[in-house]
């Protein structure tokens, strides 16, 4: 969790410093868009290979190699950035994002190997809380650093954060379980097995479909969130920061509540109930007249979605064979992330033609529909799904 916290915090330094650096060097919105697209592209094309690697090789070694390579390439990015070669940054940005895609399945699938099964929900809730906390303090900290020491030096600090993460992971005691491997099998066949398992396992299949549509729903609005706050609610920059931070607090509370909730309600039903409640909270955003009213509704949305995410991650770790977990993590992540660019672009066009209120109503309605339709799937089983 500590290594994750540091590397994610370092990523915020990168996410804030790099766009500002590109803008400073080029003043070109196309260049900024190209950097964003390059950062996102590996999630669609590289992630499945990360899952196959997680199931083939020693997971701790994969994580250590990922942090070491990230340290090297982020440092190289800082060196190149200081030379003002903005277009030449794209290959490095692509490599850094690809390393993350390769490492994430190993990170997620190592958890059930180092945590007892009855502690998985708690472990996932702590990690999700750490991520939510970083979402609150990361942008603020990064902005202060960029303003005080400059964008290039901030990128160097990101490289250092990966190095510290490497040293922390090195301390983890980990003896990989004896799992069946066939290194003579092609990696593409490994990936096909991941797709097959995702479709064969009824719980994972329906949960994955639910996540795709819910990701679409939330990002059709969240992708245009700044527009809503600035154009509709007319918030100041300081009010915007406070509103987003309050929403992040809701996410932390949701994450920490999940272990207790899973003892009261079966995992599948908890996901469906929270989907419906999240949709209702989303619809209430249309009634917001100021940043504080928005923050309350948005905090509930993020809190409920944290419960959904933690419950789903825990459920996936429990019901998927350890031999296939890395690949299933990568495939389900790929499917869920595929909804994000579609939703963001669709939301932008809808706002121009129909207005932001229509987008919010679509967001809330899809969330409610997903929760209701989910009762027709195995997720609604009243028994615990393990």
Please, what are the domains in the chain? 2-174 (1.20.1250.20), 189-380 (1.20.1250.20)
- Low-confidence residues in the chain, pLDDT < 70: 16, 19-20, 22-41, 82-88, 139, 176-184, 223, 226, 237-238, 240-241, 382-386
pLDDT for residue 184: 65
pLDDT for residue 351: 81
SS3 readout for the chain: CHHHHHHHHHHHHHHHHHHHHHHHHHCCHHHHHHHHHHHHHHHHHCHHHHHHHHHHCCHHHHHHHHHHHHHHHHHHHHHHHCCCCCCCHHHHHHHHHHHHHHHHHHHHHHHHHHCCHHHHHHHHHHHHHHHHHHHHHHHHHHHHHHHHHCHHHHHHHHHHHHHHHHHHHHCCCCCCCCCCCCCCCCHHHHHHHHHHHHHHCHHHHHHHHHHHHHHHHHHHHHCCHHHHHHHHCCCCHHHHHHHHHHHHHHHHHHHHHHHHHHHHCCHHHHHHHHHHHHHHHHHHHHHCCCHHHHHHHHHHHHHHHHHHHHHHHHHHHHHCCCCCHHHHHHHHHHHHHHHHHHHHHHHHHHHHHCCHHHHHHHHHHHHHHHHHHHHHCHHHCCCCCC
Q: For 20-66, what is each residue's pLDDT tens digit?
A: 676 666 666 456 556 655 666 677 778 888 888 888 888 899 999 99
**Confidence (pTM):** 0.73
pLDDT for residue 52: 83
pLDDT for residue 160: 92
pLDDT for residue 385: 46
pLDDT for residue 92: 83
pLDDT for residue 320: 87
pLDDT for residue 194: 85
């Amino acid at each position: 969790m500590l290594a994750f916290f540091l590397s994610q915090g370092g990523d915020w330094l990168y996410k804030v410093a790099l766009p500002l650096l590109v803008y400073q060097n080029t003043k070109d919105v196309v260049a900024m868009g190209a950097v964003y697209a390059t950062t996102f592209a590996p999630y669609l094309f590289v992630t499945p290979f990360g899952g196959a690697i997680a199931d083939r090789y020693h997971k701790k070694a994969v994580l250590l190699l990922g942090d070491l390579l990230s340290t090297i390439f982020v440092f190289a990015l800082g060196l190149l950035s200081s030379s003002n070669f903005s277009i030449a940054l794209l290959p490095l940005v692509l490599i850094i994002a690809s390393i993350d895609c390769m490492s994430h399945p190993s990170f997620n699938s190592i958890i059930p190997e180092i945590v007892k099964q009855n502690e998985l929900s708690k472990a996932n809730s702590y990690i999700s809380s750490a991520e939510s906390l970083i979402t609150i303090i990361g942008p603020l900290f990064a902005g202060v650093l960029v303003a005080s020491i400059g964008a290039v030096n901030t990128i160097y600090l990101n490289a250092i954060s990966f190095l510290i993460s490497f040293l922390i992971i090195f301390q983890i005691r980990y003896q990989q379980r004896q799992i069946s491997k066939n290194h003579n099998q092609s990696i593409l066949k490994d990936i096909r097995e991941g797709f097959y398992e995702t479709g064969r396992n009824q719980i994972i299949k329906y949960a994955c479909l639910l996540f795709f549509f819910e990701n679409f729903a939330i990002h059709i609005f969240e992708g245009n969130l700044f527009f809503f706050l600035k154009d509709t609610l007319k918030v100041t920059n300081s009010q915007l920061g406070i509103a987003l931070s309050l929403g992040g607090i809701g996410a932390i509370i949701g994450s920490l509540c999940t272990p207790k909730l899973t003892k009261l309600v079966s995992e599948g039903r908890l996901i469906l109930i929270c989907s419906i409640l999240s949709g209702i909270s989303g619809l209430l955003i249309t009634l917001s007249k100021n940043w504080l009213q928005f923050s309350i509704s948005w905090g509930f949305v993020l809190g409920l979605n944290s419960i959904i995410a933690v419950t789903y991650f825990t459920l996936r770790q429990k019901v998927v064979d350890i031999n296939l977990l890395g690949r299933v993590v990568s495939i389900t992540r790929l499917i869920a992330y595929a909804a994000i660019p579609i939703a963001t672009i669709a939301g932008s066009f809808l706002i121009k033609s129909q207005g932001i209120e229509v987008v919010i109503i679509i967001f809330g309605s899809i969330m409610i529909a997903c929760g209701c339709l989910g009762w027709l799937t195995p997720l609604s089983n009243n028994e615990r799904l393990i």
